[in-house]
Copies of this chain bind each other. A is one copy, B any other.
Amino acid sequence: LLPAADLTWQALSRPQSLAIVGSSKNPRKWGFNILLHTLEGGYSGRIYPVNPREKEILGLKVFPDMTRLPEPVDLVLLVVPPSDILKVLNDCGQSGAKVGIVITAGFGEMGEQGKRIEKEMVTLARGLGMRLMGPNCQGMVSPECSLYAHMPAQFPKRGELGVVTQSGNLATSFQRLGESMGLGFSRVISSGNEADLQTTDFLEFLAGDKETKVILSYLEGIKEGRDFRERISRIISQKPLIMIKAGQTAAGIKAVQSHTGSLSGADALYQALFQQLGIIRGETLEELLDMASALTTQPLPKGRRVGIITTGGGWGVLAADHCAKAGLIVEDLPPGIIQSLDQVLPPWWNRINPVDMVTGYRKGDLLETLELFFKAREFDGILLLGMGWRTFRGSYLKSVAKGSEDPMFALGQEWIEEESKLFLDLQEMGQQYQKPILLASDAVHFTPGFQEAIAKRRVAAYPSPQRAIRAYLGLVKRAEFLDRSSIPKIPETSRP
């Protein structure tokens, strides 16, 4: 009776049609907003609002109940009070709906009574051949089919990051922060109280999902721990999994209990388990997204030895300190590289790692230095600090120039083009040598066009050295896990 996992996933991630039970005309209601966002997001399938008291909402015909729809839908979003949920679920099942997302809160997180209703919901749904997501969740995002059926007005672009989170408000935050970093998402799954489908189920879906390259997750607690190890091991053999496990402290554990009602065990146990399984653990959403952006764009490094090239001395110093503190290795420049760079850089170059190009970043100097670093067996990866400033300065000169005949205009244009070409060249080099290169620059966030260029060209760029270093650490952890577990180390970028 129950649909197979792949049918459930199909209905959830690529529904041909969906219904929203509890659709409303009142902009204060979630039943209005979820419908609005589904419409405004441009969902490619058919939408059926359901409400016995309305005829039309936002220009769509409204159906009185689920049994009156013109077709069995793949997906139903339920935005009805807990008291109505069993009746509505029954209608959903009768109508042939495959998956239900229960948005409404007020169930298991409220206590025993709510937990009982959750159990009844699951029994009922399973009997009718349906699977459930939620309750107390935010909805589903799947940009592949322009599906933004969720509470916030967020429409992140299509990308390679798959998210599973037990907190709805963190689902919003993942999308918001990702957007600001130029990152896209494959699916964003707000799993809520997990009465039926659980984090591990969704992680399995994402592991087999061709849209998803890296999996991010926020976890408060595991409900069914039985085969967690085995299932996570299989998932991680396929894709990197980066996770925040909340409830690390007494204060956090209390907060978890009052939030999703999860039981969050001693953090040291999770820490050991995560380490063993190869889950990459992070502390903040920013860290997760930073690592994911490296893992989706860069080949894995062979080790922890980084070569650093900077266009500013202070950043070089900070990068060296942060690398060493993070456990990366800032090896001395090998004599061969020093000799070669003596031919390339001005006589006063600094002759250490980080190489400071402050006076030497002109003509092909930077590119030649980069190529030496890519070729060097002593470096497993490269940090390049300070790109973007040429573009920024060029844009400024153009903006103050008096017309296109002004020498400032010509020079501005020259710099912009020069740096733009450099981007292409360094990306090509990265591909050619299969070595990760991470950029850090505080010009990233404020230079028009730069962020887009990065996104398009699959360059990993960060607004500060320490964030690039943390991201590099994500690459290292993935590489070390694959080495240790002797899973064939296909570069993530060429995985299916």
Chain A's interface size range is: 35 or more
* Contact across chains for B314 and A218 when beta carbons are under 8 A apart: yes
C-beta contact mask, A116-128 vs B, less than 8 Å → 1, else 0? Answer: 0000000000000
Residue from B168, B286, B323, B445 in contact with A180 in the complex, judged by beta carbons closer than 8 Å:
B445
A93 at the B interface (CB under 8 A): no
Report chain B residues within 8 Å CB of A152.
393
* Contact across chains for B170 and A285 when beta carbons are under 8 A apart: no
Report chain B residues within 8 Å CB of A358.
105, 169
Q: How far is the CA of A397 from the CA of B312 in the complex (A)?
A: 45
C-beta contact mask, A396-408 vs B, less than 8 Å → 1, else 0? Answer: 1100100000011
Report chain B residues within 8 Å CB of A353.
251
* Contact across chains for A255 and B176 when beta carbons are under 8 A apart: no
* Contact across chains for B315 and A251 when beta carbons are under 8 A apart: no
* Contact across chains for B249 and A324 when beta carbons are under 8 A apart: yes
Q: How many copies does the complex hold?
A: 2
Residue from B248, B322, B350, B407 in contact with A259 in the complex, judged by beta carbons closer than 8 Å:
B350
Near B by CB (< 8 A), chain A positions 234-272 give: 244, 246-252, 254-256, 258-260
Report chain B residues within 8 Å CB of A392.
153
Report chain B residues within 8 Å CB of A254.
320, 352
A316 at the B interface (CB under 8 A): yes
Q: How far is the CA of A194 from the CA of B343 in the complex (A)?
A: 31
A330 at the B interface (CB under 8 A): yes
- With contacts A167-B312, A396-B153 taken as known, whether A442 is within 8 angstroms of B258 at the C-beta atoms is no
CB distance from A464 to the nearest CB of B (A): 6
* Contact across chains for B317 and A105 when beta carbons are under 8 A apart: no
For A463, give the chain B residue with the smallest CB separation. B177
Sample 14 A-B pairs with CB under 8 A, ordered by A number: A28-B411, A40-B400, A105-B358, A169-B314, A169-B386, A170-B314, A170-B318, A248-B321, A251-B323, A252-B317, A255-B313, A259-B313, A283-B466, A284-B466
Task: Name A's B-contacting residues (CB within 8 A).
Answer: 26-28, 36, 40, 105-106, 110, 152-153, 165-170, 172-173, 176-177, 180, 218, 220, 244, 246-252, 254-256, 258-260, 283-286, 311-325, 330, 348, 350-354, 356, 358-359, 386, 392-393, 396-397, 400, 407-408, 411, 442-443, 445-446, 464, 466
